[in-house]
Chains A and B, each alone.
Chain A
Amino acid sequence: MEGLNLIAAGLACVAMAGAGIGVGTIFGNYLQAAIRNPSAAQAQFGNLIFGFAVTEALGIFGFAIALILIYAPPG
């Protein structure tokens, strides 16, 4: 059981791949838009960070599950 929990914790880190794709998409699109229209870029910086934070939260939920599986395994 101990080993299975560790494998599950490793699998939970797959969530970080999704968060990586999402964060990359957000910053990539922001950069693309900012190069097309640099004068509008500064006004959208807050939105950029907000979208980044919300996307990153999903990766962090995966990390939280991994921590739970390692330090407080169910059963």
Chain B
Amino acid sequence: MLQVATDPMHQFQVTRLFDLHIGGVDISFTNSALFMVIGVLLIIGFFAWALSRPQTVPSRKQSLAEIWYGFVAGIVKDVNHEDGKPFVPLVFTIFSFIFVANMLGMLPNAFTSTSHIVVTGTMAIFTFLLVVVIGVWKNGFKFLKVFVPSGVPWYILWFVVIIEIFSFLSRPLSLGMRLFANMLGGHVALKVFAGFVPQLILGLGFIGGAMATVLVMPLVIGVTALELLVAFLQAYVFAILTCVYLNDALHPGGH
């Protein structure tokens, strides 16, 4: 009982909700998949509800949806200017999915699907491949200019090119690892601090434990507030990096 209550890694356990094997491939429906489906349904449901009767002068619920969409459109406009317009829905989807998945993970007993590298890595590799495909499709061989920044003296250029190649190839790794590591680390810290409470009660008895808990509680609330900030910030960072990488695909060598 205490083991489950205080083990900080227990919350990341992926469990099968029902088994499903097709052709020897295990595609069982897990709690991770369940929370991703809940997240997607929440987003679709919210926007369907908020934009059910759109008006020129928006109602409160419509404003909320417009602020959300306008925020993401603002990111794309800041980074990609006018060229980024076709990518607003893509960045909006990525941002909303990560944001809602992170926020769902903050609920007690909920599963954080973004705390698994399978999920974040898939999104990162998708973004990386998209950038390469769009870059080659729009620029052809000129896309290789992404490795050759303009305005660098020739005697140092060869070295800069090597660094640029490595930094380009490490993008999917850092993009996926950042979200995964932040969600994992944050939730472990949250659980460790929360785990002080049952340990104090076991160690000091009920009365002493309850009194000590009063001291621990502000700390736990503070860490929870910080986690809420991180949940938003990581979705924002993922969206802004997607925009920056897309900018490389649209204008290679322009940085």
Q: Is the CB of A63 within 8 A of B181?
A: yes
Give Cα A63 to B233, complex, Å: 19
Chain A interface category by residue count: 10 to 19
- The interface residues of chain A lying within 8 Å CB-to-CB of B237 are 49, 52-53
B:154-192 near A, CB below 8 Å: 170, 173-174, 177-178, 181, 185
Whether A27 is near chain B, meaning CB under 8 Å from some CB there, is no
Partner of B241, one of A53, A60, A61, A63: A53
What's the count of A-B pairs with C-beta under 8 Å?
35
A:22-75 near B, CB below 8 Å: 46, 49-50, 52-53, 56-57, 60-61, 63-64
Partner of A61, one of B79, B174, B233, B236: B174
Whether B130 is near chain A, meaning CB under 8 Å from some CB there, is no
- The interface residues of chain A lying within 8 Å CB-to-CB of B181 are 60, 63-64
Chain B nearest CB: distance from A26 CB in Å? 13
Q: Is the CB of B174 within 8 A of A50?
A: no
Give Cα A32 to B241, complex, Å: 24
Chain B interface category by residue count: 10 to 19
Q: Is the CB of B177 within 8 A of A63?
A: yes
Give Cα A57 to B75, complex, Å: 21
- The interface residues of chain A lying within 8 Å CB-to-CB of B240 are 46, 49-50, 53
Bitwise interface map of B from 215 to 255 toward A, beta carbon under 8 Å scored 1, else 0: 00000000000000000010011001100100000000000
- The interface residues of chain A lying within 8 Å CB-to-CB of B236 are 49
Chain B nearest CB: distance from A29 CB in Å? 19
Give Cα A28 to B184, complex, Å: 26
Q: Is the CB of B178 within 8 A of A57?
A: yes
Q: Is the CB of B75 within 8 A of A60?
A: no
B:181-222 near A, CB below 8 Å: 181, 185
- The interface residues of chain B lying within 8 Å CB-to-CB of A64 are 173, 177, 181
27 CB contacts below 8 A, A to B, read A46-B78, A46-B79, A46-B240, A49-B233, A49-B237, A49-B240, A50-B241, A50-B244, A52-B237, A53-B178, A53-B241, A56-B178, A57-B170, A57-B177, A57-B178, A60-B174, A60-B177, A60-B178, A61-B173, A61-B174, A61-B177, A63-B177, A63-B181, A63-B185, A64-B173, A64-B177, A64-B181
> Which positions in B face A, CB cutoff 8 Å?
75, 78-79, 170, 173-174, 177-178, 181, 185, 233, 236-237, 240-241, 244
Q: Which 3 A-B pairs have the closest CB atoms?
A: A57-B174, A53-B237, A60-B177
> Which positions in A face B, CB cutoff 8 Å?
46, 49-50, 52-53, 56-57, 60-61, 63-64
